[in-house]
Structure formats: C-alpha cells, structure tokens
C-alpha cells in the first residue's frame, strides 16, 4: 500500500509545482527607446560586433594575428564606419593606419577619456573629414547620436578597447609566442568585459 501511493504523491507534487507561478527576476536594465528603423539598424550593428569578435577569435586560434589585427583595426576601433568604408574600397592596412594618423594629427583622437560633448563633436569632425576623402557619403555619425550619454560612453570604451587590441595584435611576433597569446587574450577580455557590462546595463525597445 505504501509503495502504491508513491506515484500518486509524486503526481500531486508535480502538479503543485507546475501550478506555482515562477517569480520572474526584475529587469533593472536601463531602457533605450528607439524608433523602429533605428532599433533595427542598432541591433544589426550589435550583431555585427559579435561577428567581428568571432572572426577575431577564429583568426587568433589559427595563429593569424595579422588578420585578427586587421579586423580589430577596421571593425572595432573608434571610427570603424570610416575604416570599414576604406577597406571595402580596397584600402590596405597601411593605408587605413595612415588615415588614422592623419586624423589624430588633426586633433581627432580615438575618443577615450573624452566628455560626451567632446565625443559628439569629434564624431562630427571625423564624419566631415571622411566625406572630404570621398569615404563618407551617407555615412553619418554612427548610432551613438541616437543614444544616451551613458550609452555613448560605454560604446566609446568598447571601441577604445578594440583599438588597443589591434595594437597588441600588431606588436606580436611572427609566429606569435606564448607571451603574445597571453597579452592578446588579456586585451581581448577588455573588449568582452565592456560588451558584457553593456548588455547587463542596457536593453532596447
């Protein structure tokens, strides 16, 4: 009799568990309210960053630090819309590096440590300069102009970390040493830490 009742008790317990509503954890992230077309563009860009990281990790895994550096330089560094446009037109890594140096010499730094106002002005200068170089037609100033100052600062940190990763990759020996791998992974973690923090802080609707 004792054993016969066990299935019945188990069924009652399962039914009670299924009937008990699960308390959802409150989502405390900051909401970014965007127009539908801007939201779609923004999510597409975020997916692109994930693809960029995946491509960088794949290149590192194959020991191709030059390819990983090129990806970080053109797709993750501050001003990446400009560098991607140059790469799409066939520019080499050296030509992109030279363009970055020209912009830096004109006071267009990579954005780290800037106030939000300085960051926005610098983006405008970079976009205008890119148009003058024949690269910026329809480029605009990126998604940051649609975001809050706090989000722009987070994006600034991510792109700055991407630029630092490119430098570490460029500085590695050929073939890369164990120490090079350690340095690269440490730098890569700086990028992913910002990504993780961003997703933990913001959500879009």
pLDDT per position as a tens digit, 12-58 = 454 555 555 556 789 999 999 999 999 999 999 999 999 999 999 99
150: in domain:
yes
Query: Is the pLDDT score of 6 beyond 50?
Result: no
Q: What is the pTM of this model?
A: 0.76
Positive or negative, the Cα torsion across 85, 89, 94, 98?
A: negative
CATH of the domain at 172: 1.20.120.10
Q: Are 58 and 173 in contact (CB under 8 A)?
A: no
SS (H, E, C) the chain: CHHHHHHHHHHHHHHHHHHCCCCCCCCCCEEECCCHHHHHHHHHHHHHHHHHHHHHHHHHHCCCHHHHHHHHHHHHCCCHHHHHHHHHCCCCHHHHHHHHHHHHHCCCCCCCCCCHHHHHHHHHHHHHHHHHCCCCCCCCCCHHHHCCHHHHHHHHHHHHHHHHHHHHHHHCCCCCCHHHHHHHHHHHHHHHHHHHHHHHHEEEC
137: in domain:
no
Residue 135 or residue 32, greater confidence:
32
110: in domain:
no
Lowest-confidence region among 2-6, 30-34, 175-179: 2-6
**pLDDT tens, position by position, 89-122:** 999 888 988 988 888 887 765 555 556 666 556 5
- Domain hosting 187: range is 33-94+146-204
> End-to-end distance of the chain based on CA atoms, in angstroms?
57
Instruction: Place 138 in a pLDDT band, splitting at 50, 70 and 90.
Output: very low
State residue 9's pLDDT score: 40
Query: Is the pLDDT score of 177 beyond 60?
Result: yes
Query: Is the pLDDT score of 169 beyond 90?
Result: yes
Number of domains in the chain: 1
180: in domain:
yes
């Amino acid at each position: 009799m004792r054993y016969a009742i066990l299935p019945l008790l188990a069924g009652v317990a399962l039914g009670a568990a299924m009937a008990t509503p699960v308390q959802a954890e409150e989502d405390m992230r900051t909401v970014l309210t965007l127009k539908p077309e801007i939201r779609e563009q923004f999510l597409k860009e975020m997916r692109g960053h994930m693809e960029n990281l995946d491509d960088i990790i794949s290149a590192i895994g194959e020991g191709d630090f030059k390819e990983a550096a090129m990806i970080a330089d053109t797709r993750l560094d501050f001003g990446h819309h400009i560098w991607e446009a140059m790469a799409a037109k066939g520019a080499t890594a050296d030509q992109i590096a030279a363009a970055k140096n020209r912009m830096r010499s004109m006071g267009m730094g990579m954005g780290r440590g800037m106030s939000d106002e300085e960051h926005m002005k610098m983006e405008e200068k970079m976009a205008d300069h890119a148009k003058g170089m024949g690269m910026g037609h329809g480029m605009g100033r990126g998604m940051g102009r649609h975001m809050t100052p706090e989000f722009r600062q987070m994006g600034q940190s991510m792109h700055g970390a991407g630029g630092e990763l490119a430098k570490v990759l460029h500085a590695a020996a050929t073939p890369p040493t164990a120490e090079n791998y350690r340095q690269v992974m440490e730098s890569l973690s700086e990028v992913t830490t910002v990504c993780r923090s961003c997703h933990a802080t913001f959500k879009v609707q």
